[in-house]
Amino acid sequence: MGKEVELTVEELKNKRIGVVFSSGFFGFFAHAGCLKALEELGIKPVGYAGTSSGAIAAAFAAAGLNAERISAILFNLRKQDFWDPEPWYKTAVSALKLFRGSLGYLEGERFRNLLERNLPVRQFHELTTPCVIVGANITKKRREVFTAGSISDAVQASGTIPWTFKMKKIGDDYFLDGGLIDKAPLDALRAHVPVDVILVHYIASHDLTENSNSFLLKKFSPQRAYGLAISIARHEHYQAQKKLAEQQGVMVIELKPDLPPVTPDSLQKGREAFNISHKYVLEYFHY
């Protein structure tokens, strides 16, 4: 379970609480379970932040959707709701060019439509609670913090998994998954929302939980090692943000459940991830 919270739930209710949802492949199921637990505990965040799958959960919560509504959306999710590959001949042409100029495989239109169908508002200024979303601006080579404009654009930019989805274009800039450069955006939240406490629902990268040299036992070991190095960098960056927040007087509470992997072909495991996270958060706060 990890370190127990130093404040009671009643004491937390008197604090300005921000919630950060980390990136994590299809982790929005678990994030929704966390939201359900927070609702049952009576904890009302003053702001949300997220990257990648965490951006989806943050946007839905900030838009005023309760956990029951969010979970209903997710539990009814089917692969075809977001899986819209480009025509095969385009992929073949890209392959002949060694993918020079390719933006990715899935068009992303179904993903965007899914967001717009379910978000009750379209613009950040219409949200019931402040929300901060982070993406990787590939054009300008920097972290992009979204707090204004189109919510679906920001969420789609933050959730653009490399190779899987085509890079999201906003204006003249191309974007990739925000989780690549900011696993759990504590700094971004604190820069835009005054908070006393940050609850971080953190989904650990799977390769960081494996045995030390397990990458050597897998196919494409050098690529596995490269991916592991990225995971290490992201985790270290998060740890630095956590340390700075605590040094500046903000309490950081980490919620880190042990979750089953969920993929586009195993969406049925999402309910299990939801239930595990829900139970974990309640038990963490001795509820």
pLDDT in tens, 15-53: 999 999 999 999 999 999 999 999 999 999 999 999 999
Helical segments of 76-184, H only: 88-96, 109-118, 151-158
Q: Which residues contact 157 (CB under 8 A, 6 or more apart)?
A: 133, 135, 144, 146, 168, 170, 175, 176, 178
pLDDT in tens, 207-221: 777 778 887 877 778
Mean pLDDT, residues 133-154 = 98
84: left (phi over 0), alpha (psi -120 to 50) or beta: beta
Work out the mean pLDDT of the chain and round it to a whole number: 94
- Contact in structure between 110 and 84 (CB atoms under 8 Å): yes
Label each residue of 41-90 as H, E or C: HCCCCCEEEECCHHHHHHHHHHCCCCHHHHHHHHHCCCHHHCCCECCHHH
Model pTM score = 0.94
- Contact in structure between 75 and 271 (CB atoms under 8 Å): yes
pLDDT in tens, 46-99: 999 999 999 999 999 999 999 999 999 999 999 999 999 999 999 999 999 999
- Reported as a pLDDT band with limits 50, 70 and 90, residue 276 is very high
pLDDT in tens, 95-122: 999 999 999 999 999 999 999 999 999 9
Say if residue 80 is exposed, middle or buried (CB neighbours under 10 Å; 0-12, 13-18, 19+).
Answer: exposed
Q: Strand, coil or helix: what is 142? A: strand
pLDDT in tens, 192-248: 999 999 999 999 987 777 778 887 877 778 888 888 898 999 999 999 999 999 999
- Contact in structure between 25 and 180 (CB atoms under 8 Å): no
Residue 149: its pLDDT value, please?
A: 97
Lowest mean pLDDT among 126-130, 223-227, 255-259: 223-227
Measured CA distances, 48 to 111, 122, 128, 131 (Å): 21, 17, 11, 5
- Reported as a pLDDT band with limits 50, 70 and 90, residue 179 is very high
User: By percentage, how much of the chain surpasses pLDDT 90?
Assistant: 84
Residue 3 has pLDDT above 60, yes or no: no
Identify the CA nearest to 37 among candidates 11, 61, 3. Answer: 61
Report which residue type is found at 272. Answer: E
- Reported as a pLDDT band with limits 50, 70 and 90, residue 8 is confident
Residue 214: its pLDDT value, please?
A: 82
CB-CB neighbours of 279 under 10 Å = 13
- Reported as a pLDDT band with limits 50, 70 and 90, residue 2 is very low
C-alpha 21/C-alpha 58 separation (Å) is 7
Tokens of 92: 């073949």
With residues binned 3-state (H G I as helix, E B as strand, rest as coil), the percentages for the chain, rounded to 5, are: 45, 15, 40
Residue 1 has pLDDT above 90, yes or no: no
Tokens of 46: 């003053």
- Contact in structure between 184 and 200 (CB atoms under 8 Å): yes
Residue 91: its pLDDT value, please?
A: 92
Report which residue type is found at 95. Answer: A
